[in-house]
Chain A
Amino acid sequence: MTKATLERGLNAFREQVDAPVAAFFSSCVNCGMCAEACLFYTETGDPKYTPIHKLEPLRRVWEQDYTLVGKLKKLLGLARPVTDELLREWQELLYDSCTMCGRCSLVCPVGNDISYMVRKAREGMVASGNSPVDVQGAAQRAVTIGSPMGVRFKALSSQIKHIEANSGLKIPLDVAGADYMPLLSSMEIINFPEYIESLARIFRQAGISWTLCSDAFEATNTGIQIGSSDIARELVQRIVDGAERLKVKFVISPECGHAYTSIRWEGPDLIGRPFPFKVIHILELLDELRASGRIKTANLSSERMTFHDPCSIARKGGVIDSPRKLMEMVSSNFVEMQDHGKWNWCCGGGGGVSAIGDAEALRFKVFKRKKEQIEQTGASKLVTACANCRLVIEEGLEEYNVELPLEGLTELVAHHLVEDA
């Protein structure tokens, strides 16, 4: 029996307002510059996609419940209330047209972290039953089946067997006391199993003790995407339980943007205690192995390659230098996009957008920005480090009839790896 009501949503908004949110709303002068940083505005020209505008429901709650003037206005009946209609209307703005890429947070002249507030606003949307049905389904699958795409351990297990048979590599499973426990995203298991093989190859060469965990392999966290800490907590808890059961020292976040956010940054806060293990992104680990000389590459490709920074990893996760150093390991002809690193443009499918069927047309439309950035480089191969970005870009390029191969950076490193065996 569903309990999603407006009152519940309002309460969630109230819970979410903190000092930064209050400072941000107090500071906004409606200059509109955030629109220029948002591909949903730049590619459509529709002002309703202005990032700060997407936060109107949260702003009203802040004003009416946490400021003197707002309370007075409410008392006098001058305040515009947050209604079911408003939230319904805002669903498209807070989900379909926001990937929480955080680019707006980078340009705001008064320093507002808008994507931080979108994440918070989604809590109220979920609690009031105004999250997109498609993402709701993904969340339900994640909690009941263990993966938003409905991937069970059985599927992973058969992929492992398949890889072991084909490559002769050993994929350790549930080895207690191993140092590293990599997580995977469903997309990697289903669409890009090369990633698992690449990990096995690199780790064997580097002599790393690692293990997969049969009940904590899924890295994606639909709770973060839909914007529910309660659901996100449940999913993070599974990983923590698995890692603690195997007593690993490190949990490796895979090539997936929001997974890194959820396990690296939000995870400890969600479960309310620091992790007894460290969380590291696979690119950070590879860069460490490179720096310490434990992995080497050869036969650098002279093919012109460019790198797409996944927003959650680069702008919002601080993993910016590592992928550049790794690109230098595999290509002698690496070119940057015009806007890269913390200034990259989103693929248009992050933050759960790629899961929303109704948002597909819009997603293709705004993909134009990324397409142009890629084409400007003249690269013949695009490298990235997020399975979701990869899929979204592949679909986008197909929509625009652009032929361009994509590859994950980890696979590319594995491909050029100098192996002793």
Chain B
Amino acid sequence: MVDKKIKTLGDALRRNGVSRRGFLKFCTATASMMALPPAMVPALAASLDKARRPSVIWLSFQECTGCTESLTRSHSPTLENLIFDHISLDYHHTLQAASGHAAEAAREEAMRANEGNYLVVVDGAIPLGNPGYSTIAGFSNLQILEETAAGAAAVIAVGSCAAFGGLPKADPNPTGAVSVRDIVTDKPVVNVSGCPPIPVVITGVLAHFLTFGTLPELDEYGRPKAFFGTSIHDRCYRRPFYDKGLFANTFDDEGARKGWCLYKLGCKGPMTYNACATVKWNEGTSWPVESGHGCLGCSQPDFWDAGGFYNALSIPVGDISRTTSYAAAAGLGVAAVAAGINHKTKVAARKRHDRVTIDDLEKIS
């Protein structure tokens, strides 16, 4: 854990041997990633330098720990995890040393000491079906979230489960899972969606909070626009192949080897808003599409229910062959009746035929 004597982020960075130049470079990159004007870089640097350690309470509900893995497994030492390290992570199931009553006491202590100023980070969805589906120290997830969020400055929902309900909420949603935003309505909530989300997006949000004391501009899903403003498709390096109509048909055909578009293999890039195509993963090493697999659309709400991962986006969610065959069978049945009625009408008309003779050509007047 961080040395208690270090008061500001600047101190921490200098202690860890980060040069002024490296720090400014980070600030510039962060500013550009968050679409801040270049004039803001010195202000950002100054603010970050003086930023005090905020208390962060990390709540894990119905989740897989993938989000934490994503954040902690980034290669050290990076500025991202230094910022991450800088925060006073007062409660985190996976990372904290304390357990049992001591752990819960740490959370309560942090809440009391930083009333109105601490940040709450949530990963995982909250089950409403039955409080017993997920409990911590005898309290339901809902109780813990409501209680912890009450005194928070803001809540950051990390990962698609916390942001949108994610996998737990996937049809048929057996636990009645909901997102953080469904519960916390009176505090600012930032959704950092993704399964898992990109680490730099979290540090970016933290940097913004540390710098300005506010949260960044959000899109219709409460996601920072700076990172979720454009779609994967629009930034994809394989886009020219889509435009030319060059597609991989299987994962091992010539198209796949030549790096053609993965649309036919189910890439959900066109509907997905995230920064993967520009920020990439593992320190800019690669990202799903670059590694040869289509985007799953994991940063979009309900992506688990958006049809087969390997079905093209244009293919409807349901079993279309089945629907058409059932409809055809039903159609044949109804049509037979309709045809029968038509036939009957015509036969009846024929029966009622009254022979026309020359004596009844004129109209009755």
- Which chain A residues have a beta carbon within 8 Å of chain B's beta carbons? 1-5, 8, 11-12, 14-15, 17, 65-66, 68, 126-131, 133, 136, 139-140, 143-144, 226, 228, 230-231
> CB of B354 within 8 A of chain A?
yes
Let me know if B364 is at the binding interface, CB within 8 A: yes
| Contact pick for B363, options A4, A65, A143, CB 8 Å | A4
In the complex, the answer to whether A2 meets B345 with C-beta atoms within 8 Å is: no
Inter-chain CA distance A325–B361, complex, in Å, is 43
Determine which residue in B338, B349, B356 has the highest number of CB atoms from chain A within 10 A of its CB, and name it.
B356
A-B contact pairs, 14 of them (CB 8 A): A2-B361, A3-B360, A11-B352, A11-B354, A12-B349, A12-B353, A15-B346, A15-B350, A66-B345, A68-B338, A129-B360, A131-B361, A133-B362, A136-B358
Given contacts A15-B349, A66-B345, A68-B338, contact A136 B362 (CB under 8 A): yes
Determine the chain A residues whose CB is within 8 A of the CB of B358 once the complex forms.
136, 139-140, 143-144, 231
Q: B355 near A: Cβ within 8 Å?
A: yes
Residues of A within 8 A of B352 (CB): 11
User: B342 an interface residue at 8 Å Cβ cutoff?
Assistant: yes
The 7 tightest CB contacts between A and B, nearest first, are A129-B363, A14-B349, A2-B360, A3-B360, A230-B356, A136-B361, A140-B358
Taking CB atoms and an 8 Å cut-off, the chain B residues in 58-109 that contact chain A are: none
Contact B356 A127 (CB under 8 A): yes
B357 beta carbon closer than 8 Å to chain A: yes
Distance (Å) between the CB of B330 and the closest chain A CB?
A: 14
B359 within 8 A of A: yes
Indicate whether A8 sits within 8 Å of B346 (C-beta atoms), given known contacts A2-B359, A2-B360, A140-B361. Answer: no
- B333 to chain A minimum Cβ distance, whole angstroms, is 14
Closest residue of chain B to A123 (Cβ to Cβ) is: B356
Which A residues are CB-close (under 8 A) to B356?
A: 126-127, 228, 230-231
B residues contacting A by CB (< 8 A) are 338, 342, 345-346, 349-350, 352-364
**Smallest CB–CB gap between A141 and chain B, Å?**
9
Q: Are A14 and B346 in contact (CB under 8 A)?
A: yes
CA distance A144 to B359 in the complex (A): 11
Tell me the smallest distance from the CB of B352 to a CB of chain A, in Å. Answer: 5
> A5 contacts which chain B residues (CB < 8 A)?
364
In the assembled complex, which residues on chain B have CB atoms less than 8 Å from the CB atom of A68? 338
CA distance A249 to B358 in the complex (A): 32
Contact present for A4 and B346 (CB under 8 Å): no
Q: Given the complex, which residues of B lie within 8 Å of A144, measured CB to CB?
A: 358
With the chains together, A14 CA to B356 CA distance in Å?
15
CB of A2 within 8 A of CB of B364, answer yes
Smallest Cβ distance from A67 to chain B, in angstroms? 9
Q: Beyond A136-B362, A228-B356, A230-B357, list 19 extra A-B contacts (CB 8 Å).
A: A1-B360, A2-B359, A2-B361, A3-B360, A4-B360, A4-B364, A8-B354, A11-B349, A11-B352, A12-B349, A12-B353, A127-B356, A128-B363, A129-B363, A140-B361, A226-B361, A228-B361, A230-B355, A231-B358
Determine if A11 and B364 form an interchain contact, defined as CB atoms under 8 angstroms apart. no
Given the complex, which residues of B lie within 8 Å of A230, measured CB to CB?
A: 355-357
Which residues on the B side are within 8 Å of A143 (C-beta)? 357-358
